[in-house]
Structure 1
Amino acid sequence: MTSTPDVAGLLADPLLRDARTLAGHAGLDRPVLDVTAYRGDLASVDGHLVLCDVRDATPAYRLDALVRRAQEAGAAALCVTAGHTARPPLSAVRLADRLRIPVLWAATDDPFRLALDLTLRVRAPEVTRARTVETLVRRLATRTEGPELIATARTVLAAAVSLVTRDGSAIVGDPAASDALRPDLAVPQRTPGLLAHPVHAVPSAGDRPGGTAPVTAWLVWPVEPADEERADTVALGLAVLEPFVRSWLAGARTRADHDSAVRRRLLTEIVTGRGTVSREVVEQSVALGWRLEDWHVGLAVRAEQPPAVDRPDTVPAPLVAALARHGVTTQAVAKGDGDWALWSSSSRRPADDEPRLLLRQVRRALAELPSTWRLVAGIGWPRQGSGGLADTLTEARNAARLAAAREFRPSVEHTDELGVGRLLAAWQQSDITRAFAETALAPLRGTAHAHLLTTLRVFLENGGSAAATARALGLHRNTVTARLRQVRERLGVGLDDPGNRLALQMACRALTFG
């Protein structure tokens, strides 16, 4: 069933994208039953959008008279068509506001075409929709890259279409509000704030026959003020766009999978070989844009709750983009799900004040990313050559381990800021420390006593302060005191002795980072 548009809905349509509302905003909810071109007669225009030439609305007194006559005849709105260089008069503003009849000014060089298209839009919206879809398909057929596909859809649909991940992060275009998208429902969605269409992954050989392919991304449109016909057109446009985007993503995924495998293998060989790498590794590194002979600064980033993506073996584009926005251009390799190695390279040795600047830049960049990722990061010291790249990445990884001990997220540490922390990082990774931790903390292991182990760890990280521990855990101080008493009883050691606290803190960290 075709719905009747109102004036506001037509103004949101691409046909009137260049129109302005001069007056009568209070009447924008008037339904538009038909479109009439003014030819000196307003006898049968009840509920019509009346189009008149600018010559019928000038001088100003003629527009005043036309507004009054249109209101008396029951017109839904009056739309003055004029060339792009003409300026609208302002004399009828007060009268139209008082009469609550919208007065529109449409800049067009072809008023006849505008009248015809608007008539079809109101009388036969399915024809307009079919034309739009036909145009979209024809133009998409000549596009192969994602940004081109989205740009074409935006132009043809006159809608801010974007391609986003399952958590709403932008792939092409703008991000979507995380609370507006229901990624668990793999079907087209329409809410008051968002219109979304799922982009399914290309079925693989291992998929169940007849099963639904998983959703790899979403095509979204932040719903503007529009009537149902306009929303239906955009929804159909997204459905038409989906297979083109799916094909592009499949091709991009194949290329990225190969590239990711090459990157991981090369980085492994560089880190393993330290200062000695084969000629093949050097040649492939150059092909990837890695300048092994330069100065490098390593950056290790971990997501305790990585974003929901169908390709965990790649570095999330939002992470790389956020760093770039803050002046940190990196090479990136995914080491595992939520575990990423990045580094920046420079032909000159970084200045002495750059570590602190880099620390601020990384902290600001990570603060822009979703808090649900729970990010921690570590930054290495500037090192030169392939061996230096291996060393700075190792330092960054150790710094990230210490950053994970912080209670807040995101947490970033620089190896230059750690002091004795670097020594502690080596200790807590040793087999001896790990064995001691498993033995010393055995009475607190297991789900039944997990709350006691957490309380002990936070207590030690907060300098042995029960008050600070209570604040960090959101508990009453008496609760923390009671838990610490149970810890003492189960471990059989006192927590007032500095030596005991240091040993237990090392044990807690060894379990956390192991």
Structure 2
Amino acid sequence: MTAPPKVSDLLADPLLRDARTLAGHAGLERPVTDVTPYRGTLTAVVGHLVLCDARDTTPAYRLDALVRRAQEAGAAALCVTAAATARPPLSAVRLADRLRIPVLWAATDDPLRLALDLTLRVRAPEVVRARTVETLVRRLGTRTEGPDLLAAARGVLAADISLVTSDGSAILGDPVPWDGTLRPELAVPQRTARLLAHPVHDSPAGQRSGAAPVPAAWLVWPYQRADEDRADTVALGLAVLEPFVRSWLATARTRADHDSAARRRLLEEVVGSRATVSREVVERAVALGWRLEDWHVGLRIHCETAAADRPDTVGAQLGAALARHGVAAHAVAERDGGWALWTSSVRQPAPDEARLLLREVRRALAELPRRWRPVAGIGWPHQGPGGLADTLTEARNAARLAGVREFRPSVELTDELGVARLLATWQQSDITQAFAETALAPLRDADHAHLLTTLRVFLENGGSSTATARALGLHRNTVTARLRQVRDRLGVDLDDPGHRLALQMACRAVQPAPE
């Protein structure tokens, strides 16, 4: 059997959400064992919340007497119900403060209903819980969309519930900072002193093969105060809500995957056709809000997400971060896990607008989780369907070069790359790719990956063994020994500038790009 609620617990309950504590704050921690309506006498009311009508407290001396009698009878608190909010006389307030008995003032048009609800809340919380669940199931059964489901649960449970990701970012509702005692990596319901969290389990189709179960999201209720019965009711409500939200997420994910695949195919057709897109392609693009004839600025963004990060959630957070900084872009998830994005405008963007976009993209990416290590490339403005293909290609090249940078987030604008643009073109050519695959083959297996890394860092640091050792955190002798192995396996002279340049281009060509 759970402990009886305290007066302060009832004040935190939705039933007395609008009630005010007018006096006797020192007694708010008194336990309430029952609820008794005042009928002219106060007997056997030890530990009870006494409900009285405003007429029982006027004139002023009657409230003074009622406060004194309630204290003498051992009542936990006195609650005055009235149709409108009023102020009790000062003498009664001072008396209640002195006697340390709480005096509550609850504005209600139906005092009998309030008395019945409070009685059930104190005497039979399990009945309240059952009724709440029944009402919640009925409300949820008529809703299919996430916002509607959350709104229904918030209304029935009278709790500010949010649907958040594993790092507390909001999917629906408000973001919720995790407290230090909650462990979001565990897919089990959890309760802390200020937080109630229930995992939304992933559907079998959405689970990664061989991966440990990871919640797709969390239903969370942050609260200031809640007694055990109230917390149990909300916890049960979250458990009831979870399968409905899971179904919505699965449906939304399927719909998003279908839409994403359709967008990706359409973009591939636009890029492949360039200026000769068919009428059907144009019509499909217009249906998606793509104005192919406009001026376009391409973006390419990639994040190093982990197995626990769902692509749809990552995309939603990325889009929200860009939107917060005024970047309204069309986005298409690509097959390699990155995103192709572009902004469109009727007029040709001014040169300073590209640099403004660069600054805003950097700010947006800085808001993403640091573990994602985002990189981005931005193309130059081009017009028409062929221009969209050109600017997206430029953005991809810029993103490749941004991925070479050691810091994150890294964002490059293609117009500012200079010689790097030429190098990007070279390293992506078929000839360079073929040379790289052949020349570096002896180092591309798992057992020699450390040698390939050492070679790449050595070449990027101008052929300096000292700088390479510093960058890799190794002793210079270790680097020297590794370079000797590289020479032996590749059969090249690393002191030859021509060989170093060719190998550097090859390393860049085979290096995992930000894709």
TM-score (norm 1): 0.84
- Whole-Å Cα distance in 1 between the matches of residues 131 and 254 of structure 2? 35
1:204-223 aligned within 5 A: 216-223=216-223
Matched, 1:485 2:480: yes
The match for 1:372 is: 371
Matched, 1:108 2:103: no
Q: Which structure 2 segments of 5+ residues have no match?
A: none
Higher alpha-carbon deviation: 382-391 or 17-26: 17-26
**Contact residue 374 and residue 409 of structure 2 kept, 8 A:** yes
State the SS of the aligned residue for 1:275: helix
The match for 2:197 is: 196
The match for 2:317 is: 318
- Whole-Å Cα distance in 2 between the matches of residues 56 and 106 of structure 1? 14
The match for 2:143 is: 143
CA RMSD, Structure 1 to Structure 2 (Å): 3.8
Amino acid of the residue matched to residue 341 of structure 2?
A: L
Query: Structure 1's 43 and 294: CA in aligned 2 closer, same or farther, altered over 3 A?
Result: same
- Whole-Å Cα distance in 2 between the matches of residues 31 and 342 of structure 1? 59
- Whole-Å Cα distance in 2 between the matches of residues 505 and 90 of structure 1? 85
List per-residue Cα deviations over 1:373-421 (Å, max 9, x = no partner). Answer: 2211111111111111111111111111111112222222221222222
State the SS of the aligned residue for 1:274: helix
**Contact residue 322 and residue 361 of structure 2 kept, 8 A:** yes
Deviation at 1:335, TM superposition (A): 0.8
List per-residue Cα deviations over 1:269-289 (Å, max 9, x = no partner). Answer: 111112211111111111111
List per-residue Cα deviations over 1:95-141 (Å, max 9, x = no partner). Answer: 65665544433332333322221111000112212222232233323
**Contact residue 313 and residue 337 of structure 1 kept, 8 A:** no
Query: Structure 1's 69 and 164: CA in aligned 2 closer, same or farther, altered over 3 A?
Result: same
List per-residue Cα deviations over 1:52-106 (Å, max 9, x = no partner). Answer: 4445556777666655554444333333434444356677667656655444333
**Contact residue 67 and residue 92 of structure 2 kept, 8 A:** yes
Matched, 1:128 2:149: no
- Whole-Å Cα distance in 2 between the matches of residues 303 and 481 of structure 1? 32
The match for 1:261 is: 261
Amino acid of the residue matched to residue 354 of structure 1?
A: E
- Whole-Å Cα distance in 2 between the matches of residues 436 and 315 of structure 1? 36
Query: Structure 1's 248 and 443: CA in aligned 2 closer, same or farther, altered over 3 A?
Result: closer
State the SS of the aligned residue for 1:402: helix
- Whole-Å Cα distance in 2 between the matches of residues 302 and 489 of structure 1? 35
- Whole-Å Cα distance in 1 between the matches of residues 453 and 26 of structure 2? 60
Amino acid of the residue matched to residue 219 of structure 1?
A: L
**Contact residue 359 and residue 379 of structure 1 kept, 8 A:** yes
Amino acid of the residue matched to residue 46 of structure 2?
A: D
Higher alpha-carbon deviation: 231-240 or 296-305: 231-240
1:239-388 aligned within 5 A: 239-306=239-306, 308=308, 312=311, 316-336=315-335, 338-388=337-387
Higher alpha-carbon deviation: 498-507 or 379-388: 498-507
- Whole-Å Cα distance in 2 between the matches of residues 15 and 170 of structure 1? 28
- Whole-Å Cα distance in 1 between the matches of residues 35 and 234 of structure 2? 23
State the SS of the aligned residue for 2:405: coil
List per-residue Cα deviations over 1:270-324 (Å, max 9, x = no partner). Answer: 11112211111111111111111111111111112256356x4797212111111
Amino acid of the residue matched to residue 485 of structure 2?
A: R
**Contact residue 313 and residue 335 of structure 1 kept, 8 A:** no
TM-score (norm 2): 0.84
- Whole-Å Cα distance in 1 between the matches of residues 361 and 412 of structure 2? 10
- Whole-Å Cα distance in 1 between the matches of residues 206 and 479 of structure 2? 55
Deviation at 1:348, TM superposition (A): 1.8
Q: Which structure 1 segments of 5+ residues have no match?
A: none
- Whole-Å Cα distance in 2 between the matches of residues 61 and 465 of structure 1? 93
**Contact residue 301 and residue 340 of structure 1 kept, 8 A:** yes
- Whole-Å Cα distance in 2 between the matches of residues 267 and 375 of structure 1? 23
- Whole-Å Cα distance in 2 between the matches of residues 280 and 243 of structure 1? 40
1:464-479 aligned within 5 A: 475=473, 479=474
Matched, 1:14 2:14: yes
State the SS of the aligned residue for 1:220: strand
Higher alpha-carbon deviation: 6-15 or 314-323: 314-323
- Whole-Å Cα distance in 2 between the matches of residues 207 and 448 of structure 1? 27
Higher alpha-carbon deviation: 67-76 or 440-449: 440-449
**Contact residue 203 and residue 213 of structure 1 kept, 8 A:** no
- Whole-Å Cα distance in 1 between the matches of residues 110 and 157 of structure 2? 20
